[in-house]
Amino acid sequence: MTGGHVPPELPLWRHFMNNLNSILIEGNMVCEPKYRTTPKGTPVCTFSLASNRSYRQDNGYEKEVSFFDVETWAKLADICNNMGRKGRGVRVVGRLKQDRWTGNDGRYHSRIAIVAEHVEFRPEFKKEPDQDNDSAEKDKNSVYSDSLADEAAEAAEAAEEAQGYEEAAVMTEYEETPVLAETVF
C-alpha cells in the first residue's frame, strides 16, 4: 500500500472513506437567486429555500417552516440563475457545508449551507387572464357543463405530455464528474 503506514488501532476503511453527508430537500425559493463569480471566474449562485412541514398536535395541525441557504457552482449556477425565481418550487440534492469564522468582536460564528449537486425545478403553469375570470364566475354560479369536462380532459392531456425532462449535464468546481440538472416541465 502506498501513502504511508496505517496505525493498527484503526481499521483501514476509516482512513480512506468519507462519512455520509447527503441531503434531499424540497421547497420554494424565498427570493430571487443571487449570482456572482469568484476571482477565478467560476459562477456561483445562491438562494434561500423555504421548506414546509405539517404535523399533528392536540386536535389540529401545526405548520412549521424552515429556511435553508443553498449554493450552486459552475454550470449548475448558470441554470439556477436563469430558471430560478422567487416562489418557484425546487428539489435540491447535495451536501451540508459549515463555514466558521471569528467576528470583529472576537465571537465565534457558524453557518451551515447546502451545496447543491443536483437541482430540479417544479413545473410552472401559466394562467391566461380571461381564464381566471371565467372560472371564478362558473364557480360562483356552481354551473358545470360538458365544456368544462372537455377543458379538464384537454388540460390533463397537456399535463401528461408536459411530463418530459430537459436535461443539462454540468461539472462541479470540486470534481470532474458530470452532475445532472433536470428541469421538469
pLDDT exceeds 90 at position 142: no
Give me the residue label for grid cell 443571487: 34
Residue type, 144: Y
Domain count, the chain: 2
Q: How far apart are CA 84 and CA 121, in angstroms?
A: 8
Q: How far apart are CA 58 and CA 78, in angstroms?
A: 46
85 & 157 share domain = no
Task: Indicate whether 10 belongs to any domain.
Answer: no
What is the extent of the structural domain holding 42? Answer: 17-123+165-184
138 & 178 share domain = no
**Bigger pLDDT: 63 vs 4:** 63
pLDDT exceeds 60 at position 181: no
Confidence of residue 128 (pLDDT cuts 50, 70, 90): low
Q: How far apart are CA 67 and CA 87, in angstroms?
A: 13
Contacts with 86 (C-beta within 8 Å, 6 or more apart), sequence order:
29, 30, 31, 32
| CA-based torsion, 101, 41, 74, 69: positive or negative | positive
Confidence of residue 18 (pLDDT cuts 50, 70, 90): confident
pTM of the entire predicted model: 0.60
Give the pLDDT mean for 60-72.
95
pLDDT the model gives residue 11:
66
pLDDT the model gives residue 112:
96
147 & 85 share domain = no
**Bigger pLDDT: 178 vs 103:** 103
Task: Indicate whether 12 belongs to any domain.
Answer: no
36 close to 44: Cβ distance less than 8 angstroms: yes
99 & 179 share domain = yes
pLDDT exceeds 80 at position 47: yes
pLDDT exceeds 60 at position 16: yes
